[in-house]
Amino acid sequence: MPYLGAAYLWVKAAHLIFVIFLMAGLFMMPRFFVYHHQCAVGSDEDKKWIDRERRLLKIILNPSLILVWVFGLMLMVEIGAWHFGWFHLKLLFVLGLSAYHGWIAGYVKKLAAGQRPMTEKNLRLINEVPGIAAAVIVVAVIVRPF
């Protein structure tokens, strides 16, 4: 028995809105990292990048991830999604994106501490992760191949 009633479409819209915000942040942050790598540790520019990264994480990424999960779980319960194969694929990739978010948060802290553990080339490559995950998730949800 549905519990969201008339609110279902509003919850679905909110879920999608915050997915867009989250994805924008997940695409932006590794770009920020590339530019941050190009400045000297301890410089004024370094401090500006530390502040930009912290703000993107705290104002956009963290709240968006929380709201995506809240609204997504509400939708999952509403439609009984755990019974569908496509949902298991989506959930796997959503968990992967959540882990990617965690990695980003950790890398923000490393850069703030003056560490540069990855190369710019690797940061550019890792920036492809959210795009690939988004493609798989969209196909799983829209096409529902299984």
The conformation of residue 80, written as its DSSP 8-state character, comes to T
Dist. CA 11–CA 77, nearest whole Å = 12
Q: Collect contacts of 13-16 with beta carbons under 8 A, ≥24 apart.
A: 14/67, 14/71, 15/68, 15/71, 15/72, 15/74, 15/75
The reply, when asked if residue 36 is annotated as ligand binding, is no
Dist. CA 36–CA 103, nearest whole Å = 16
The reply, when asked if residue 15 is annotated as ligand binding, is yes
* Tokens 């990739």 sit on residue: 93
Dist. CA 43–CA 23, nearest whole Å = 30
Length of the chain: 146
The conformation of residue 81, written as its DSSP 8-state character, comes to G
Q: From the annotation, which residues make up the binding site?
A: 15, 90
Residue positions forming the annotated binding site for heme: 15, 90
